[in-house]
Amino acid sequence: MARKDWFASLFFIALAAYAGWVSIVDLKVGTFVKPGPGFFPFLASLTMGVFATLTLAKRWAAQRGPGKTSRQAVSWPPLLITFALLVVYTLVLPLLGYGLTTFLFILALLKVVEKKGWPVSALAALGVTLVAHLVFAKILKSQLPPGPWGF
């Protein structure tokens, strides 16, 4: 494993541990039914720690296993399109509201970046939007930007 892979993985594991600690001790996580201000930062730090650990384990196993792993070049157009869509999502969210903006964002990601057909893209975008609305607005009682139509 290249030194930079070790350092990057260990850095993100340490960052995740620190963020998790701050979420628990300083921000108070709360419960799933009544989440505190540290709930989402704790989940984010947990996710980051898991992925960093998996990356470390994968690189370690590839180094010890037979053969060498090859590095793949980054495909820049999908990466740049995704970044641009995220910027547009952030700017449009207060204007159109959470529901419509999220639907359009997921639709654009699936149609433009993943090159899926219209029916698959539209149904998946609708499903993601509805599930996210159910989880955040109904179960967790988060305040989402309503947009001009009230949803």
pTM over 0.85: no
How far CA 80 is from CA of 76, 108, 131, in Å, comes to 6, 13, 27
- Residue 30 in 3-state DSSP? strand
Instruction: Determine whether 67 is exposed, middle or buried from the number of CB atoms within 10 Å of its CB (0-12, 13-18, 19+).
Output: exposed
What SS3 state is found at 143? coil
Record the tokens describing residue 3, joined without a space. 């030194």
Query: What are 80-114's pLDDT values in tens digits?
Result: 999 999 999 999 998 999 999 999 999 999 999 99
Torsion of CA 54, 58, 59, 64, to 10 degrees: 140
